[in-house]
Amino acid sequence: MTSGSEIVKDSQDGVRDRRIASLTQTLGDRSIVLVGFMGSGKTSTGRRLAQRLGLPFVDADVEIEAAAGMTIAEIFAKHGEPSFRDGERRVMARLLEDGPRVIATGGGAFLNEETRARIAKRGVSVWLKADPEVLWRRVRKRSHRPLLQSPDPEKTLRTLLEQRYPYYARADVTVISRDGPHELAVEEIICAIEFFMRFSPDPPPLTPSRPMNLSKTSAPAPISLATGEVLFDASGSPPGAAQGPDGRPPAAKVRVNLGARSYDILIASGLIAEAGGHIQRLAPGAACAIVTDANVAEIHLAGLEESLDKAGVRHSVVVVPPGETSKSFATFAEVCDAVIAAKLERGDLVIALGGGVIGDLAGFAAASIRRGMRFIQIPTSLLAQVDSSVGGKTGINSDHGKNLVGAFHQPSLVLADAHALETLPAREFRAGYAEVVKYGLIGDAGFFSWLQTHWRGVFSGGSDRVHAIATSCRAKAAIVARDEHERGDRALLNLGHTFGHALERINHYDGARLVHGEGVSIGMALAFRFSVKLGLCPCGDADRVEAHLREVGLPTRLADIKGLALDAGQIIEAMYQDKKVERGALTFILAREVGDCFVAKSVDAEEVRAFLQDELNTGI
């Protein structure tokens, strides 16, 4: 007779077997390629991963030694590193042709541009990322490492890490290599690959190899760290090109998968001038109402109207005052009345042309007029392009708090014109960048590492900017697809917002003193420091977050808000108006480390009060 426990075990095994079968079927002939520094556990973890998936395992270094008839140390000594790297490249090309399998690479393999392109085409790359202290502890007693044969091997290791981490960060997924059971790492890899395969496009075509100079900082190939999306310009130029032959930066398309309500996010320069064509194809014969503010209208409205005229799209315009004060009941009523007066029907469109305020306001109007009209987001700020225009959150403010009145109403299309960001004041761009950083902090340590290295490229434009926007949008799109109405892990997107919204409310939304992204920046730094105080997060991670935010010019401390008197009780009171409060209990997004945040419900208000008092007392 079969016991109940045996039935449960058989059921669990069946679920696991179906899960593995589904994953390997989705992989097809693509291999799983483990990349990372020496000592990150690629071989030991790879063996167990291959066993779990029922795939062959191969160690690229072992294959190189077999092909050469000598050890890697002997190859280095006899022929030098360039010869070894050439052999490594050829071995990797051969191994990738015989998938599916699990491949453990040497520490330098992923630095080769041709090898990266082949892996992108024939595999899924997984970066096993470990902290320098962990790596040094693992490799310091191993004398056979040729690259560590120096008077100060630890310094050499850290120098190599600085060179290599920006390249490892281009891997399709990142998994933290911790001390502990290999089975835990295997499970994290499988979950990460399942996520990647669900939301990634088909593999890109191979591109020819070009020489690479590690002595200079080079822009990374624009491959999404969260999902593997590869960005191409309109002419089909290969990844890594700052501009295509027509002088335009790369373009990207991100899909938000919501069944019948799915939509695309298009990211490129010049989309405002092309909007009429996109809208005409999306809704042939539809009219539209453009909702914008006076500042944006002065810069972008004429170009949008010209595009609509060329496409034969009838349109009207509603212009509201700029700033957070327009997210009010009074302005909402004005917009609704203007759209209705323009005789737009339910099948027509509302276009939100502007930043997050306009997107929230116009989207809520579209959700409400005639019980729901379609709308299009044309975000003109970085914050709106990477956050508020994606996911369908719309709404206005109440005297009691921010975004307390609204609805979930998904757009039909998002047109993120990267060139529009050139008109942003530097302060506004920095504020939007806080939301970009957020995506790295909540679930993509590799992306955060990439931002630390390439933030100047994001600020200056070109492929780095498009890459950062697309990575952020796809990360948010994936979360929205899993949790559209914020009943689960979509709440992670509020990292820093519980603190930030409270500060904005106390400040009465005075943008001269504090704008939203600055509040989020302070809030994220506070969330990491609070996590340290609770014993959840290493102090070094909080320091790393604060250092990067400060490096780009963002505030990280309560004392950075000049001229605003604060006390801990006042901040706590403002927090209780947050939408995430449940049954009178505070909810925060806290951190275990960079790239690993979680939703913490029922946080003790007195602990928060004590933490805030310490922050205020420190005054730095």
Q: Which residues are catalytic?
A: 371, 393, 435, 476, 486, 490, 494, 497, 501, 516
Question: Is residue 71 a known part of a binding site?
Answer: no
In 3D space, the residue among 431, 586, 601, 598 whose CA is nearest the CA of residue 499 turns out to be 586
Question: Is residue 453 a known part of a binding site?
Answer: no
Question: Is residue 381 a known part of a binding site?
Answer: yes
Alpha carbon distance 570, 576 (integer Å): 10
Question: Is residue 356 a known part of a binding site?
Answer: yes
Alpha carbon distance 240, 229 (integer Å): 13
Question: Is residue 228 a known part of a binding site?
Answer: no
Alpha carbon distance 81, 528 (integer Å): 41
Burial class (CB in 10 A: 0-12, 13-18, 19+), 583: exposed
Q: What is the Cβ-side half-sphere exposure of residue 47, based on CA atoms within 13 angstroms?
A: 5
Question: From residue 378, how far is each of 92, 253, 272 by CA, in Å?
Answer: 44, 14, 8
Question: Is residue 145 a known part of a binding site?
Answer: yes
Alpha carbon distance 215, 37 (integer Å): 18
Question: Is residue 380 a known part of a binding site?
Answer: yes
Alpha-carbon torsion angle 540, 542, 545, 547, nearest 10:
-70
Question: Is residue 393 a known part of a binding site?
Answer: yes
Question: Is residue 85 a known part of a binding site?
Answer: yes
Q: Which amino acid, residue 384? A: A
Question: Is residue 16 a known part of a binding site?
Answer: no
Alpha carbon distance 313, 307 (integer Å): 9
Going by their DSSP bridges, the two strands 393-398 and 401-408 should be labelled as: antiparallel
In 3D space, the residue among 394, 315, 383, 390 whose CA is nearest the CA of residue 354 turns out to be 383
Question: Is residue 2 a known part of a binding site?
Answer: no
Question: Is residue 325 a known part of a binding site?
Answer: no
Give every CB contact of residue 191 below 8 A, 6+ residues apart in sequence: none
Tokens of 170: 């281009």
Tokens of 71: 């050890």
Cβ atoms of residues 542 and 593 within 8 Å: no
Question: Is residue 44 a known part of a binding site?
Answer: yes
Question: Is residue 43 a known part of a binding site?
Answer: yes
Question: Is residue 430 a known part of a binding site?
Answer: no
Q: How many helices (H) and strands (E) does the chain have?
A: 23, 16
Question: Is residue 223 a known part of a binding site?
Answer: no
Question: Is residue 39 a known part of a binding site?
Answer: yes
Binding site feature residues = 39-44, 61, 85, 107, 145, 164, 356-360, 380-381, 393, 402, 435, 497, 516
Residue ranges of the binding site for Mg(2+): 43
Residue ranges of the binding site for Zn(2+): 435, 497, 516
Annotated binding-site residues for ATP read: 39-44, 145
**Which residues make up each annotated binding site for substrate?**
61, 85, 107, 164
